[in-house]
Amino acid sequence: MNMMAKLDWGRYVPNRIQRFAIGQSNKHPKSLFGSLCRKIVLSGLSSPLDVKFWGSKFRLYPKDNLCEKRALFSRINFDAQERQILLEMLHKDFRFIDVGANVGLYSLFVAGNAGRQARVLAIEPQPVIKQRLKFNLAVNPDCNITHVDCAVADKKGVAQMSISTSNRGASGFSLRSGDQPDETFEVQTRSLTEILSSHDMTGADAMKIDIEGAEDQVLPVFFETTSKDDLPKLLILERNQDWSVDCVELAKFCGYKQILQAHMNVVLELG
């Protein structure tokens, strides 16, 4: 896999027009011109695109995953405040947990900037997305990232996950849109406590968790079964108004303080 990935990356490098349009979209992501540039690239696009940014190589499929589309066309705004906070706290032995890693954007950003000694755990179970993740990890061999192929839940078991083929990053135990899934698959589940313990990642420097609204199934048990010393020092959490338990307030009760409310994410620091 590693050798094939190394040989294959670069096969889908954007052509001159695509490079220009991608560059202009990243310079003017919120303008009508930027929108036109995105349409130019996406119109008739039938292949992925091989690009390099944040010091890492990526193969992106922008037509069926909003996360990859954002990374290709407006990466300067891609969780910019969250990434800046991470940058300021990186050190050579940094440990980072990426729950719902998608195609590895956060994982590679952290590993690429922290260096070879840093360790990253990328948890992602979706069949198509995890293959994209594994490819992106393979073409960046200097990054010390371990892929964990399971879904995070409240306990070990088996569950059914739902997939939206128009936005694969929005897939989860149920679709937040309320729509019927385009596809379903059976997945092994493990508790977050067990995963971190088995990979020596308790008390990690930071954790990002974005599992499409299922955080309220995972974090209450995690906080209940984890001592304060073993909690991640920083928590990046996508807020969801439909949680049965307010995970942000729960984190605060467990000793975190909120240091940022971004567009979608809340960043909390352990006191």
**Partner residues linked to 153 by β-bridges:** 191
Q: What is the mean pLDDT of the chain?
A: 93
- What is the spatial distance between Cα 177 and Cα 180, in angstroms, rounded to a whole number? 9
**Partner residues linked to 231 by β-bridges:** none
79-152+193-270 homologous superfamily = Vaccinia Virus protein VP39 (3.40.50.150)
Predicted local distance difference test score (pLDDT) of residue 181: 81
Contact 58, 133 (CB under 8 A): no
Q: For residue 59, what are the contacts with CB-CB under 8 A and spacing of at least 6?
A: 9, 12, 48, 49, 50, 132, 135, 136, 139
**Partner residues linked to 53 by β-bridges:** 56
For the chain, how many residues are written?
Answer: 271
Contact 202, 230 (CB under 8 A): yes
Mode of pairing for the β-strands spanning 95-99 and 206-209: parallel
Hey, what are 228's tokens?
A: 């304060």
Contact 75, 186 (CB under 8 A): no
For the chain, which residues make up each domain, given as ranges?
Answer: 1-60, 79-152+193-270
Q: What is the pLDDT along the chain (271 residues), one digit of tens a residue?
A: 455 555 699 999 999 999 999 999 999 999 999 999 999 999 989 999 999 999 999 999 999 999 999 999 999 999 999 999 999 999 999 999 999 999 999 999 999 999 999 999 999 999 999 999 999 999 999 999 999 999 999 999 999 988 888 899 888 887 766 678 888 889 999 999 999 999 999 999 999 999 988 999 999 999 999 999 999 999 999 998 889 999 999 999 999 999 999 988 999 999 9
> Within its chain, how far is the Cα of 146 from the centroid?
14
> By C-alpha distance, which of 111, 257, 85, 122 is closest to 199?
122
Look up the pTM and report it.
0.94
Q: 178-217, pLDDT tens digit by residue? A: 678 888 889 999 999 999 999 999 999 999 999 988 999 9
